[in-house]
Amino acid sequence: MGRLSKVASIVLIMLGGIALVAWGGAGYAVSLYDEGIEDNCDSTVGTIAQITEWDDGQCDDARETKEALENARPIILAIGSLLVGLGLVVYIRS
């Protein structure tokens, strides 16, 4: 049972680490979306394109995607932290 629990704990820690990396990647993606929206949508040309609908809704799509990523980040962080913590507890107990 000791060997199985150590393997399970390592798997949990690895999955948690992947989730924490995904949390960081989502933060980076949010900052890229912010820059893109600022450069392409909030500028004078971008505002004119949105009013005349030449942007085909791309600015609205970018804002929605950025908002979805911002909403998912705390959940990803909680899941990653929980998996790493659980894996460490299982590893220490075995």
Boundaries of every domain in the chain: 2-93
Q: What is the 3-state secondary structure (H, E, C) of the chain?
A: CHHHHHHHHHHHHHHHHHHHHHHHHHHHHHHHHHHHHHHHCCCHHHHHHHHCCCCCCHHHHHHHHHHHHHHHHHHHHHHHHHHHHHHHHHHHHC
Query: Residue 40: its pLDDT value, please?
Result: 83
Query: Residue 77: its pLDDT value, please?
Result: 97
Per-residue CA distances from 20 to 3, 25, 34 (Å): 26, 9, 21
pTM, entire model: 0.81
Query: Residue 1: its pLDDT value, please?
Result: 60
Q: State yes or no: pLDDT of 50 exceeds 80.
A: no
Query: How many percent of the chain have pLDDT more than 90?
Result: 63
pLDDT digits (tens, 9 = 90+) for 9-42: 999 999 999 999 999 999 999 999 999 888 888 8
Q: State yes or no: pLDDT of 94 exceeds 70.
A: yes
Which of 34-38, 45-49, 90-94 is predicted with the least confidence, judged by mean pLDDT? 45-49
